[in-house]
Structure 1
């Protein structure tokens, strides 16, 4: 079975997802999309690149196993070419390895690692590539990053073996795919309006404006000058103050969110520093300390209350 798959003798359609930085994606796309077009034509694989102005993008390669291996070979050699080109302009003497990051459903990572790490060790030894499986899942997903580095030939052999494992051990349960988040644009508040900065332009942001105005109604504060960014974590006015809240233990989860996603959103949107105390033995409540300007604090309070309201009523935050 193994040799058949690695030779592409089985006409099995597979989908492999790669996580790439913007610069790497630019290299794969090429001028006017010529490089990716050539890769698609020569490999016969479908290569899709996620949209967006994210610092990270997902590259999805779908097709019969032999088409996937050809596409991977072209990507690995393209990255090696980029490394060689960048070295000609630098003083570095040792050539860094080519590195690719696969995104693999967490339910398949156990098979990839093997009992006591036996499978991953076997893959490393037989291919000469370095393989690392991330311990944590990628944010808001059930997928993990698998980083492969080495020479292009070692990487191609390694991908073949990983494909064999993935074919033999299909994912269990539903997979929540990882979707990179857009780069969080800086936000400024001016004249009671919120603007997100995109390139050289300030774009009015109605949702943030509404929150900002609600926060303004709750707290007297010094109006912000247009040049003062209230984000991220910067105090909008010089006098930072602190406010403390207590939240029942059973509701703290909805404030923190999965892997801290919600609390990080609240921190980013409000520009306040927010610390959640550890659970105290015998206490049914947790303390939250919010630090920042009065405007930052009231915006953070509003966002926290909105999360609690939606959790308690089971409705979306209004």
Structure 2
């Protein structure tokens, strides 16, 4: 998830404005589907119960992740995310009533979706504290049997996306703030070492009971709101996308086509599937095949083919686009979505590489444009719901 102080007009209670925040969470495709629910019923219930603006990004062909965005007052947002964790913890059944494997056991090629923290244990985690004296006294009386009663299946994990700048404030000098959060709320917290692909954001992974995570998020939001710097330059945000690597023969890619070498921002994105077997043919021509998801082909080609025509002219290459009726000739069982093959040829390899690079950059730009439009529409679409409540 990524989180940033909200710039929207803040709701008021009496004469005092209520601080608002926008948090973003990284989800797998299955996690996103479970939170959305049948025809959006589950996420709608979360939105109504907590009076927040909440939505999940569109599925991007070839990517194994989506982003949940939740905006509103701090307590509301934190409670909404706690509800999401409880939903993910629920047991699923197939049509025959058999219990399905927990999503917690899933392993992903896109390593950011895999838990950084080890499996939970009752010795390290504790249920949320409610803070009043009576409950505290009751808690002390039950302390001896607490470990036996703890159900580890109720423990969940959340992946909060945080800008590198804000993450430093959450960790604190010498890790003092993050250690305090861990001790105070009985949770486990760790920050990812790597940046999310093509961004300046990292993950803050929090493991614990939903209520405990809710309480941690409230404190994290307070830190973020107090960390506003007028001189701060916004860092590049992460969004699920397909990128490319300069290393044509790097085979260390995953289902999300994101390379595991995350120290190089250029290598952090999703590498397109390209066919280099025919890089050089008998006609003294260099050739590259690039797969473009069908839903983006129109934008890449442009109105009346103007955009692709300009690309051909600028790079001095020939670019042939696979026809729809030939889709089956190139379709692979591993393809999650329909793709069209763009074949680039030229007698100069550098021209082919330039055309390939520009083609993929145009695709990235179009994906980002649609993602930004979705995020803006999600916020606008839910404004009226909050006002009516």
TM-score (norm 1): 0.57
CA contact (8 A) 1:127 1:158 kept: yes
Q: CA deviation at 1:303?
A: 5.5
Query: Could you tell me which of 74, 78, 101 is aligned with 2:83?
Result: 74
**Greater RCO, CA 8 A, separation 6+:** 2
Q: Deviations over 1:238-258 (max 9, x none)?
A: xxxxxxxxxxxxxxxxxxxxx
Counterparts of 1:295 and 1:227 in 2: how far apart (Å)? 26
Residues 75 and 218 in structure 2, CA contact (< 8 A), matched pair in contact too: no
The reply to whether residue 160 of structure 1 matches residue 255 of structure 2 is: no
**What residue number does 1:50 align with?**
57
Shift of residue 302, structure 1, vs aligned partner: 4.3
Which one is further off, 43-52 or 180-189? 180-189
Distance in 2 (alpha carbons) for counterparts of 1:305 and 1:129: 44
Would you say 1:121 and 2:179 are equivalent positions?
A: yes
Displacement after TM superposition at 1:146 (Å): 0.9
Distance 1:24 1:58 in 2: 10
Q: Does 1:151 align with 2:181?
A: no
* CA positional deviation for 1:89: 3.6
- Shift in Å at residue 122 of structure 1? 1.0
How far apart are the structure 1 equivalents of 2:308 and 2:214? 47
Task: Give the structure 1 partner of residue 374 of structure 2.
Answer: none
**2:237 partner SS:** coil
Check 1:295–1:21 CA distance in 2 against 1; reply closer, same or farther (3 A cut): farther
| Residues 124/297 of structure 1: CA separation in 2 closer, same or farther (3 Å cut) | farther
Q: Look up the match of 1:287.
A: none
Greater percentage in strand: 1
Residue 69 (structure 2) pairs with residue 31 (structure 1): no
2:241 pairs with one of 181, 186, 189: 181
Matched residue pairs, number? 232
Question: Cα distance, 1:147 vs. partner?
Answer: 1.0
**Structure 1 residues 112 and 301, CA, compared in 2 at 3 Å: closer, same or farther?**
same
Contact 1:270–1:300 (CA under 8 A) maintained in structure 2: no
Task: Give the conservation status (yes or no) of the 8 Å contact 2:171–2:177.
Answer: yes
Partner of 1:88: 99
- Give, in angstroms, the shift of residue 181 of structure 1: 0.7
- Give per-residue Cα distances to partners, 1:4-62, cap 9 Å, x unaligned: xxxx9971111111111111111111111111111111110100222242422221111
SS at match of 2:58: coil
| Root-mean-square deviation over aligned CA pairs | 4.7
Map residues 102-121 of structure 1 onto 2, 5 A cutoff: 102-121=160-179
Q: Paired residue for 1:196?
A: 291
Q: Is the 8 A contact 1:216 1:295 kept in 2?
A: no
Note the alpha carbon deviations across 1:120-149, whole angstroms, 9 max, x for none. 111111112211112333233232211111
Counterpart-to-counterpart distance in 2, 1:164 and 1:61: 16
Question: Hey, what's the Cα distance between the residues in 1 that align with 2:357 and 2:221?
Answer: 47
Contact 2:171–2:178 (CA under 8 A) maintained in structure 1? yes
